[in-house]
């Protein structure tokens, strides 16, 4: 990365070849969508290109790359949440075709259950429980303390359990 920051374009090619599969796998695992993963890893390398002069040569490259990747993922999650996108597609396309009606039923059930939460509670629960974001990171995003976010998540989970009622039988 230091060579690329100094203007060696071949060094960027080497970085891309080395880290592209890992970056794509990182995003694919967390989004469940090859299209979204492809868009995110392309954004990642574009950001690396733009931030090449800010790279701290005293630190290893890989953690820096994955920190940027993590921030891109959080931003993507935030955009999806605020645009009301529902990223609940099955990861296996064959399952989508064979269980279409069941999947629609699950989505409706999720919408019903999550509907008892406020927008902020939904964001915290989905970010923490589904995407694995930490309470400290969520606290920084929301401008609250980590303890306040933990309490918010705990209360939201209690409300979810209370609002969910009896589990429905869905065969997936």
pLDDT at 169: 47
- Give dist(CA 146, CA 139) in Å, integer: 5
94-130 residue pLDDT tens: 544 445 566 667 677 777 777 888 888 888 888 887 7
Half-sphere exposure of 113 (CA within 13 A, CB side): 19
Structure tokens at 86: 């529902």
121-144 residue pLDDT tens: 888 888 887 777 788 888 888 888
Domains by residue range for the chain, with CATH: 2-82 (1.10.1740.10), 93-164 (1.10.10.10)
Pair 80, 33: CB distance under 8 Å: no
Distances (CA, A) of 67 to 3, 8, 72, 157: 20, 23, 9, 29
Q: Which residues of the chain have pLDDT under 70?
A: 80-104, 106, 163-172
DSSP state of 168: P
Contacts of 52 (CB under 8 A, 6+ apart): 1, 4, 5
Predicted structure pTM score:
0.47
Q: Please state, as a whole number, how many other Cβ atoms lie within 10 Å of the Cβ of residue 111.
A: 11
């Amino acid at each position: 990365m230091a060579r690329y920051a100094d203007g060696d374009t071949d060094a960027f090619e080497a970085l891309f070849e080395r880290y592209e599969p890992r970056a794509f796998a990182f995003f694919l695992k967390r989004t469940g969508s090859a299209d979204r993963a492809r868009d995110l890893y392309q954004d990642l390398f574009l950001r690396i290109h733009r931030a090449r002069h800010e790279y701290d040569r005293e630190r290893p490259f890989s953690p820096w790359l994955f920190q940027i990747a993590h921030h891109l993922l959080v931003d993507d999650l935030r955009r999806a949440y605020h645009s009301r996108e529902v990223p609940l597609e099955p990861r296996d396309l064959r399952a989508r075709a064979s269980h279409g009606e069941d999947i629609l039923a699950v989505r409706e059930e999720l919408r019903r259950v999550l509907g008892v939460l406020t927008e902020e509670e939904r964001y915290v629960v989905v970010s923490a429980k589904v995407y694995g974001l930490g309470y400290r990171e969520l606290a920084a995003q929301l401008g609250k303390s980590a303890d306040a976010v933990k309490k918010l998540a705990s209360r939201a989970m209690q409300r979810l359990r209370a609002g969910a009622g009896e589990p429905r039988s869905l065969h997936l």
